[in-house]
Amino acid sequence: MLIKLVKDTNFNEIEKFIKNIEKKGFEVTKNFNDNIKILIITGNTEKIDTDYIESFDFVESVKRIKEPYKKANRKLHPDDTIIDISGVKIGGGNFLVIAGPCSVESEKQIIRIAKKVKEKGASLLRGGAFKPRTSPYSFQGLGKKAIDYLIKAKKETGLGIVTEIMDKSDLKYFDDIDIIQIGARNMQNFSLLKEVGKTKKPILLKRGLSATYEEWLMAAEYIMREGNENVILCERGIRTFENEIRNNLDISAIPVIKKLSHLPIIIDPSHAAGNYKYVQPLSLAATAAGCDGLIIEVHDNPSCALSDGAQSLTPEKFEETLKKVNKIREAIF
């Protein structure tokens, strides 16, 4: 932690401050010259709030030198994390494809689509039961019933299932779910993060619409600190000034997260684009950039979908996309 002091300052106060910090077990180094006065604090500085430091009058600014996340940090865990999801692996070179409709609409619908996405090459089935919708007047998902239908689809096809949790009180319904998804809007719902951190289930942690890489990894840290290190990061587009597409897929997140963390990262091109026309090029781009998997919305009748039909691929288009994804992986990895 680097502290820049204001120009004309009271040295007695600073000495008191330094002693105080040292007493707590940190090391402090002074770099004072005529132009600039700097303190460097080393040790477990993730425990020090920069806000606390900034509140002293003799402090001009504070910058962290060390990342504030530990369990998610690649420096402390150089090897890729590999997560086993009911026999299917992700991370360390294993590529995972999750597909299915935005919402579970009926038992028939989810079983029918599950069979199709399995046939076309998906390893896991997705489907929304509890749906976070911007408008209270939009379809909110079938809830508990949808979870039952997903479990039936799992029995019929053998595909593991992925679905989103919106509130910790619903966790009791997730026993047979293979990956619990935390949505972008809940990325900093810390109560929920702590609760899923107490399970052993793989957690799919979507990046918030305007979350920095550091905030995203700190959200993973919340889960990991409770004992659950099975976190899969998922980039799904960020909010920018551009409105021609719904969100801008942050392709740089792939190499940057791979550098900062050992956790696997997958891409959701469907929510980023908000339009099925862009799903294939974004899937191919993400694959080429080195992501560990994809989560793609597939519906056999997009125009009848109760939500997000505009961004769903047909099973045929999904199959074509997956073939190209595999070709890229064979060509360069």
Q: Is 26 in the site for its own copies (CB under 8 A)?
A: no
- Rank residues 38 and 82 by Cβ distance to its own copies and give the closer one: 38
Does 94 help bind its own copies (rule: CB under 8 A)? no
**19, 24, 47, 145: residue in contact with its own copies (rule CB under 8 A):** 47
Q: Does 77 bind its own copies (CB under 8 A)?
A: no
Asked whether position 221 contacts its own copies by CB under 8 A, the answer is yes
The CA distance from 111 to 315, in Å, is 14
Taking the complex as a whole, the smallest distance from the CB of residue 158 to its own copies amounts, in Å, to 30
Selected from 9, 68, 82, 94, the binder of its own copies by CB under 8 A is 68
Query: Does 169 interact with its own copies (rule: CB under 8 A)?
Result: yes
When asked if residue 214 is in the footprint of its own copies (CB under 8 A), the reply is yes
Q: Rule CB under 8 A: is residue 121 a binding residue for its own copies? A: no
Please answer whether residues 264 and 89 qualify as being in contact, where contact means their C-beta atoms are separated by less than 8 angstroms. no
CB 57 within 8 A of CB 5: no
Distance between CA atoms of residues 205 and 34, nearest Å: 48
| DSSP-derived secondary structure letter, 76 | T
- Exactly one of 112, 132, 152, 319 binds its own copies (CB under 8 A); which one? 132
The span of 59-67, 85-93, 111-119, 143-151 binding its own copies (CB under 8 A) equals: 59-67
Minimum CB separation from its own copies for residue 113, in Å?
Answer: 15
7 contributes a contact to its own copies by CB under 8 A: yes
Rule CB under 8 A: choose which of 31, 144, 176, 316 binds its own copies: 31
What angle, rounded to 10 degrees, do the helices at 144-157 and 107-120 form? 40
Write the binding mask 287 to 326 for its own copies: x where contact by CB under 8 A, - elsewhere: xxxx-----------xx-xxxxxxxx-----------x--
Q: What DSSP line would sit under 164-190, residue for residue?
A: EE--GGGGGGGTT-SEEEE-GGGTT-H
Q: Does 171 bind its own copies (CB under 8 A)?
A: no
Please give the Cα distance from 262 to 253 (Å, whole number).
Answer: 13
For position 27 contacting its own copies by CB under 8 A, the verdict is: yes
155-158: list long-range contacts, CB under 8 Å, 24+ apart.
Answer: 156/111, 156/114, 156/115, 157/111, 157/114, 157/115, 157/118, 157/125, 158/118
Residues whose CB falls within 8 Å of the CB of residue 33, separated by 6 or more in sequence, listed in order: none
Q: Are 313 and 113 in contact (CB under 8 A)?
A: no
Output the smallest distance, CB 191 to its own copies, in A: 4
The Cα 107–Cα 117 span in angstroms is: 16
- Candidates 164, 250, 268, 292; binder of its own copies (CB under 8 A) is 250
16 binds its own copies (CB under 8 A): no
Per-residue contact flags (x/-) with its own copies for residues 178 to 197, judged by CB under 8 A: -------xx-xxxxx-x---
- What's the min distance (Å) between Cβ of 196 and its own copies? 13
- CA 43, CA 21: separation in Å to the nearest integer? 11
